[in-house]
């Protein structure tokens, strides 16, 4: 059996009882180690808590070396641990398909993830649209395909959850080209950098999917003891120091309910300004009034 086990967001004890029971009976335990990190627990702490040795699974192992993970899983129990929920990344769907194609039974054990815990900022989950990912820009790679998804969300009034890039066990282009297994220090995108990139792309596109004055919510260390929220415009948050990672961002849609706004006002020092920013954004993105078609003139 292959078990995909969600670990939750922060603590070693965030794993479910069912997940813990599964891990403790497995002969091999892998920890996915590139889409997210467990903020308040080290590998050593997890090993002590589970009573099992943990094998770190980087992107290369999961995407191109999954045969190693699935080896003999039809005869023994193997656990694949994922921070958050097992289906928080498409890579994990691919692993399940590979297992099924090899006739390996699979059991999924779910847990909390950023996709549902983001509702703790006060915005209703059913008012969210497509989720997008913001990657680190480089000198010659500045992808902006996510812009159209934000625009689509905004046109129908929905909030957009923006997941911020992390780089763990990544090689520089030079080391990769030379075949040197030298890895860069871990990097975690900040709220301010995400907002700077948002503003850069909007300036280049110029179609105003959002503006510097669009309200947003900065989410820091979601699910941990130091979890915090801060609201402001994208421009204001581009200058905001959100502290230690991990960070996420929500861009508000124009259909911000009064109850949502009331909750968000707990996270600002200037309630009147933020209220005015939200109202102005709602007015700017309000759809044009419907006008009935005119009847064609009789000839």
Question: Where are the extended beta strands (E) located within the chain?
Answer: 2-6, 28-32, 55-57, 78-82, 106-109, 132-134, 160-164, 166-167, 187-188, 215-220, 228-233, 247-251
- Structural domains in the chain, CATH included, are 2-112 (3.40.1010.10), 115-283 (3.30.950.10)
pLDDT of residue 297: 62
> 205-224: buried (b, 16+ CB within 10 Å) or exposed (e) per residue?
eeeebbeeebbbbbbbbbbb
Binding-site positions for S-adenosyl-L-methionine: 9, 85, 88, 113-114, 164, 222, 247
pLDDT digits (tens, 9 = 90+) for 207-239: 999 999 999 999 999 999 999 999 999 999 999
Give the tokens for residue 273.
Answer: 């300004």
152 and 130 in contact (C-beta within 8 Å)? yes
**Token reading at 40:** 């308040």
The model's confidence at residue 284, banded by pLDDT at 50, 70 and 90, is confident
- Given a cut of 70, whether residue 139 has pLDDT beyond it is yes
- Interatomic CA distance for residues 37 and 128, integer angstroms: 24
Binding-site members are 9, 85, 88, 113-114, 164, 222, 247
Alpha helices in 65-139 (DSSP H): 66-70, 90-101, 114-117
pLDDT per residue as tens digits for the range 94-130: 999 999 999 999 999 999 999 999 999 999 999 999 9
Taking only Cα atoms into account, the Rg of the chain, rounded to an integer number of angstroms, comes to 22
pLDDT attached to residue 13: 97
Range of weakest confidence among 161-175, 259-273, 279-293: 161-175
Average pLDDT over residues 50-79: 91
**Dist. CA 93–CA 88, nearest whole Å:** 9
Residue with tokens 């309910």: 257
The residues that bridge with 166 in the sheet, in sequence order, are: 188
pTM of the model: 0.90
């Amino acid at each position: 059996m292959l078990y995909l086990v969600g670990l939750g967001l922060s603590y070693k004890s965030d794993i479910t009882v069912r997940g813990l029971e599964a891990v403790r009976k497995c002969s091999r335990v892998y920890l996915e180690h590139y889409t997210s990190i467990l903020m308040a627990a080290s590998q050593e702490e997890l090993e002590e808590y589970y009573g099992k040795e943990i094998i770190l699974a980087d992107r290369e192992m999961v995407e191109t070396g999954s045969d190693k993970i699935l080896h003999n899983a039809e005869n023994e129990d193997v656990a694949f641990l994922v921070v958050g929920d097992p289906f928080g990344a498409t890579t994990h769907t691919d692993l399940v398909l590979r297992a099924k194609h090899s006739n390996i039974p699979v059991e999924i054990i779910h847990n909390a993830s950023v996709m549902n815990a983001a509702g703790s900022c006060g915005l209703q989950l059913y008012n969210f649209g497509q989720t997008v990912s913001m990657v680190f820009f480089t000198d010659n790679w500045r992808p902006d395909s996510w812009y159209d998804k934000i625009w689509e969300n905004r046109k129908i009034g929905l909030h957009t959850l923006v997941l911020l890039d992390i780089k763990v066990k990544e090689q520089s282009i030079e080391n990769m080209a030379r075949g040197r297994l030298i890895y860069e220090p871990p990097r975690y995108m900040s709220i301010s950098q995400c907002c700077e990139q948002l503003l850069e792309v909007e300036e280049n596109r110029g179609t105003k999917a959002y503006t510097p004055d669009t309200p947003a919510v900065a989410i820091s260390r979601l699910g941990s003891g130091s979890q915090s929220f801060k609201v402001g415009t994208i421009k204001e948050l581009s200058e905001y120091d959100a502290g230690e990672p991990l960070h996420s961002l929500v861009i508000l849609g124009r259909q911000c309910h009064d109850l949502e706004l009331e909750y968000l006002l707990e996270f600002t020092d200037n309630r009147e300004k933020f209220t005015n920013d939200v109202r102005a954004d709602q007015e700017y993105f309000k759809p044009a009034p419907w006008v009935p078609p005119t009847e064609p003139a009789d000839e």
